[in-house]
Amino acid sequence: MHPDFARWTSEETVVSAVAVREGTLVTMRNRVLDDVLSPGFLAANDPSRRVRPESHLLIRGKCVYRWDGDRSKAPAEYCFPMAKDSSWGQMAADGAPDYEFYWRVSGVNADPFGAPGGRTFHFSAHEGSGTICDRWFQKEVGLLQEVSEHHGTYGEERRQLVSARIGGKGIAFRLTPARASSR
């Protein structure tokens, strides 16, 4: 009846891309620019405090992986080329999708949650323990929006790209707030 919330704006800057044995390691600098908590939110639980000052991605083959923490078990965040009904992720021993971090592209420009004039891919996955994640991705831009919902207990996380500097040009995004797909 009275949900608590945390809202913040962060800046992610690519500082290097270096060839390593596993592929190309991309290093990003991250910083929280502002942070707002609802009156009842416990400051100790503020998720903006968990934003690492530095994070990494690994580009290996056709896929991109988060490369922080336990690297041996990192599922692919994105795989290319993307097209409607393309998929990537973990498979069970019988060849069926494991459904944890098994991503499937459900549409291309199929909803109003992408950037006008761009080609937006909408894909989603079950992340485990009742959590479903939907993402909207645009070629040559990256992640536009993400909605992660936990079903069973109330929990929701949203990410939305506000602005970017691509090829030296600043771009502002005014995106329609995304809604998760119904599963």
Instruction: Kindly state whether residues 45 and 103 are assigned to the same domain.
Output: no
Verify that 53 and 125 share a domain, yes or no: no
- Kindly state whether residues 107 and 57 are assigned to the same domain: no
- Per-residue pLDDT reduced to its tens digit, 154-173: 788 999 999 999 989 999 99
Asked if 87 and 70 sit in the same domain, the reply is no
The count of domains in the chain is: 2
Of 74, 91, 119, the last residue of a domain is 74
Q: What is the mean pLDDT of the segment spanning 72-88? A: 90
Buried/exposed code over 56-82 (b: 16+ C-beta within 10 A; e: otherwise): bbbbbeebbbebeeeeeebbbbbbeeb
Q: Do residue 103 and residue 164 come from a single domain?
A: yes
Pair 69, 104 in one domain: no
Same domain, 70 and 141: no
Q: Are residues 141 and 102 in the same domain?
A: yes
Q: What is the mean pLDDT of the segment spanning 89-112? A: 79
Rounded CA separation 83/109 (Å): 11
Angstrom CA distances, 175 to 119, 155, 162, stand at 14, 22, 8
Which structural domain, as residue segments, surrounds residue 21?
Answer: 1-74
pLDDT at position 100: 78
Residue 13's H or E segment, with its range, is strand 6-20
Q: Do 111 and 70 reside in the same domain of the chain?
A: no
Q: pTM for the whole thing?
A: 0.88
Q: Do the Cβ atoms of 81 and 61 come closer than 8 Å? A: no
C-alpha torsion 97→69→178→150, nearest 10 = 70
As beta bridge partners, residue 6 has 37
- Do both 38 and 91 map to the same domain? no
Quick one: 20 and 94 in the same domain?
no
Cα–Cα distance between 178 and 170 in angstroms, integer? 23
Residue with tokens 């991309």: 26
The model's confidence at residue 50, banded by pLDDT at 50, 70 and 90, is very high
- Tell me: do 90 and 147 sit in the same domain: yes
CA distance 178 to 183: 15
